[in-house]
Amino acid sequence: MSPIKRALTLILYNSQKGININAAGMANLNNELLVSIVKNAFSAITLLRALTMES
């Protein structure tokens, strides 16, 4: 099995289990919130890259 396929299989397997992370005792981060944070961060990076490419 290729390394990429193995990594994707592990990601898919782990994404089916719920995780909870306690962020500094103030917030409980679950899968849905973590996905939202990653999506927003990616959108911000994409926007910033687009703005710097036009200049």
Let me know the angle formed at the C-alpha of 15 by 21 and 34, rounded to the nearest 5 degrees. Answer: 40
Record the pTM. Answer: 0.53
Higher per-residue pLDDT: 54 or 26: 26
Model pLDDT for residues 10-51, shown as the tens digit of each residue: 888 877 776 677 777 787 777 788 889 899 999 999 999 999
User: In this predicted structure, what is the pLDDT of residue 49?
Assistant: 92
User: In this predicted structure, what is the pLDDT of residue 55?
Assistant: 58
**Residue 20 φ/ψ, nearest 5 degrees:** -130, 130
- Listed by start position, the domains of the chain span 3-54
Spatial contact of 13 and 5, defined as CB atoms under 8 Å apart = no
